[in-house]
Amino acid sequence: MPQHPTRIPHLPPSLHYLPSFITPSEESTLLTTITSQPIPKWTILSHRRLQSHPSTLSKSNTLITAPLPAWLECLVPRIEGAVDDGDGGVEVNLNDLGEDGRVEGTDKGKGIWEKTKHMRPNHVLINEYKPGEGIMPHEDGPAYEPVVATVSLGGAVVLEVRRKRVDGEEEKEEEGEEGEGRDGGKEKPVARILLEPRSLFITTRTMYTNFLHSISPIEVDEDLGPETIANWELLGDREMYKDGRNVRVTRTSLTYRDVTRVVKVGGLLGGRR
């Protein structure tokens, strides 16, 4: 048994993938709960809709502290124990990777949020994508501690990862590449990760801070295989994608995060912290 069976090969060890993290019956209970939330809980965006629990962040990216609803909280201990993120706070650079993409850390972490500010997730964003919908290349940024755990429900999708360009690099590379924006949308992804329904995907540290992630707004993910999908060997059901295609159905993702800035009720109304 490999030491870190959930690590995605050839990428920094700050990415983990675990299929069948929840059961089909847990998945359907979660979906029922999500779809039965009151309509105002949804924020409608042009290419997806989303819920924020326990609440939406303020304009200054501050969260009013409140417990997560029990139906989201119940997965937290399981997420914490799901992967052995044996690198603690060690930062890893893509250039430092060995042939197999692995760098062993020195201090052993227990849970993935062990080194974040609140040492646990305090916020969950729920995104719902219909076939043909997606999310443009972006980084989740400093509002959150650099650890995100994603549970996928309903359908599979390919998540693309691109290297974030530093400003100088950006200018140079943009010459002659018309229309390429700050988000690096036309740059080739460094990795494509297939997120199966019921899977857990964890992004931490370097992968959080130095890369952009996106989901193409398409109806079918194509060209899926061992050479093109970074977590192919970790998939729960490779047979399902053996024709190289994933026909999208509605996918809902739960992203567990630790919001850096929190205040108690009333704190945004002049209280100090």
Ligand X SMILES: O=C(O)CCC(=O)C(=O)O
**C-beta of 140 vs 170, nearer to ligand X:** 140
Measured CA to CA, the distance from residue 242 to residue 228 in angstroms comes to 13
**C-beta of 102 vs 121, nearer to Fe ion:** 121
Q: Which residues bind Fe ion (CB under 5 A)?
A: 140
**C-beta of 102 vs 213, nearer to ligand X:** 213
Q: Which residue's Cβ lies closest to Fe ion?
A: 140
> 125 contacts which partner out of ligand X, Fe ion, none, CB within 5 to 8 A by kind?
ligand X
Q: Which residue's Cβ lies closest to ligand X?
A: 253
Q: Which residues bind ligand X (CB under 6 A)?
A: 125, 127, 135, 140, 150, 159, 213, 253, 255
- In whole angstroms, the minimum distance from the beta carbon of 138 to Fe ion comes to 6
**C-beta of 102 vs 126, nearer to Fe ion:** 126
> 199 contacts which partner out of ligand X, Fe ion, none, CB within 5 to 8 A by kind?
none
> 127 contacts which partner out of Fe ion, ligand X, none, CB within 5 to 8 A by kind?
ligand X
